[in-house]
Structure 1
Amino acid sequence: MEDDFSKALRQTAELMDRELREFLPLNEGLERQLYEAMRYSVLSGGKRLRALLVIQAADLFSVPRLHSTRVASAIEMVHSYSLIHDDLPCMDDDDLRRGLPTVHRKFDEATAVLAGDALQSLAFEIIANAKTHSSAEVRIKLAGSLAQAIGARGMVGGQTMDMYAGDDDIDIVTITRLQQMKTGALITFACEAGAILGHASPPQQQALKAYAHDLGLAFQIADDILDAEGSPEEMGKATGKDAAAGKATFVSLMGLEEARIHAAMLVDQAIKHLEIFGPKADLLRHAARFAIERRN
Structure 2
Amino acid sequence: MNQFIDFQQQYLDQFNTYLHNQLVQRIKQPQVQVGMLYSLDAGGKRIRPFLMLATLHSLKPSALISDYFPIAGAIELIHTYSLIHDDLPEMDNDDYRRGQLTNHKRFTPARAVLAGDALLTEAFIWLTDNVLPATLQSSLVKTLAQAAGGNGMVAGQMIDIVNTGRDLSLDQIIDLDLQKTGALIRASVLMGAICAQVNQHLLTALDNFARNFGIAFQIYDDLLDVTSTQEQMGKKVGKDQAAGKNTYVQVLGVHQAQTKLKFLVQEAQSYLDSVDLTNSVLADSLKYFD
Specify if TM > 0.5: yes
Provide the residue aligned with 2:137 in structure 1. 139
Q: Note the aligned Cα RMSD (angstroms).
A: 1.8
Aligned length: 288
Q: How does 1:63-212 map to 2 (within 5 A)?
A: 63-129=63-129, 131-133=130-132, 135-165=133-163, 167-168=165-166, 170-212=168-210
TM-score (norm 1): 0.92
Instruction: State the 1:105 CA deviation.
Output: 0.9
8 Å Cα contact 2:164/2:243 also seen in 1: no
Question: Which amino acid is 2:215 matched to?
Answer: L
8 Å Cα contact 1:58/1:68 also seen in 2: no
Which SS does the other structure have where 1:94 is aligned? coil
Deviates more, 1:152-161 or 1:270-279: 270-279
Deviates more, 1:12-21 or 1:206-215: 12-21
8 Å Cα contact 2:77/2:123 also seen in 1: yes
Instruction: State the 1:169 CA deviation.
Output: 5.6
Q: How does 1:205-224 map to 2 (within 5 A)?
A: 205-224=203-222
Provide the residue aligned with 2:15 in structure 1. 16
Which SS does the other structure have where 1:25 is aligned? helix
Instruction: State the 1:137 CA deviation.
Output: 1.2
Question: Which amino acid is 1:271 matched to?
Answer: Q
8 Å Cα contact 2:226/2:237 also seen in 1: yes
Gaps of 5+ in 2: none
Deviates more, 1:43-52 or 1:56-65: 56-65
Question: Which amino acid is 2:236 matched to?
Answer: A
Sequence identity percentage: 38
> How many Å separate the matches in 1 of 2:102 and 2:63?
36
Deviations 1:51-76 (A, max 9, x none): 11111111213443244221101101
Q: How does 1:46-65 map to 2 (within 5 A)?
A: 46-59=44-57, 60-61=59-60, 62-65=62-65
TM-score (norm 2): 0.94
> How many Å separate the matches in 1 of 2:216 and 2:165?
22
Higher relative contact order (CA 8 A, sep 6+): 2
8 Å Cα contact 1:188/1:209 also seen in 2: yes
Instruction: State the 1:282 CA deviation.
Output: 2.2
Gaps of 5+ in 1: none
Q: State the 4+ residue runs in structure 1 displaced beyond 4 angstroms.
A: 26-29, 166-169
Q: How does 1:22-41 map to 2 (within 5 A)?
A: 22-25=21-24, 31-41=29-39
> How many Å separate the matches in 1 of 2:143 and 2:80?
18
Instruction: State the 1:34 CA deviation.
Output: 1.1
Provide the residue aligned with 2:262 in structure 1. 264
Q: How does 1:239-258 map to 2 (within 5 A)?
A: 239-258=237-256
8 Å Cα contact 2:220/2:261 also seen in 1: yes
Deviations 1:115-164 (A, max 9, x none): 100011110000012x241x211111110111100111100100000000
Which SS does the other structure have where 1:255 is aligned? helix
Structure 1 residues 210 and 107: CA distance shift in structure 2, 3 A: same
> How many Å separate the matches in 2 of 1:34 and 1:197?
31
Which SS does the other structure have where 2:181 is aligned? helix
